[in-house]
Amino acid sequence: MITKETTWTNVGPSSNFPLHLGGCVKVGGKQIAIFHLSTEQKWYAVQNFNPQNQRMVLARGLTGDADGTPIVICPLHKYRYALDTGACLTDDQFSLETFPVKEVDGELLIEA
Ligand code: FES
């Protein structure tokens, strides 16, 4: 049986990540885009790499809502991704890896 080992990594004060805008951190060699949406008071973490055109751009995307699903819209070709599942809402051949993220005592932790 293969198990995936993960650990929680402190990526700094949550105040470093402004509401509705993306931030990018590197954890375990992966670039991870982090978003904080006020509508749900929730944090989301997804890969920064957009598989559609293989660019590290999603942390610069626009956030929004698609029929109740929190999304990020890629700044280049406007592909839309669900932040909770990583599913691409524009073309279902693409998807993003998502990561557990939580705020503890003002610090942001990512499991990757
Ligand atoms: S690079 Fe993101 S939609 Fe094309």
Phi, psi values for residue 14, rounded to 5°: -65, -25
**Distance of CA 3 from the midpoint of ligand 1 (Å):** 32
Residues with CB under 6 A from ligand 1: 50, 52-53, 55, 57, 74, 76-77, 79
DSSP string across the chain:
-------EEEEEEGGGS-TTS-EEEEETTEEEEEEEETTTTEEEEEESEETTTTEE-GGGSEEEEETTEEEEE-TTT--EEETTT-BBSS-TT-B--EE-EEEETTEEEEE-
CATH architecture group of domain 17-111: 3-layer Sandwich (2.102)
Q: Where are the domains of the chain?
A: 17-111
* Per-residue model confidence (pLDDT) at position 2: 65
Select from 77, 80, 81, 96 the residue to mutate for testing ligand 1; criterion: most ligand atoms less than 8 Å from CB. Answer: 77
Q: What is the residue-level pLDDT of the chain in tens, covering all 112 positions?
A: 666 677 999 999 999 998 989 999 999 899 999 999 977 789 999 999 999 999 999 999 999 999 999 999 999 999 999 999 999 999 999 999 999 999 999 999 999 8
Tell me the C-alpha distance between 110 and 6, whole Å: 10
**pTM greater than 0.85 (yes/no):** yes
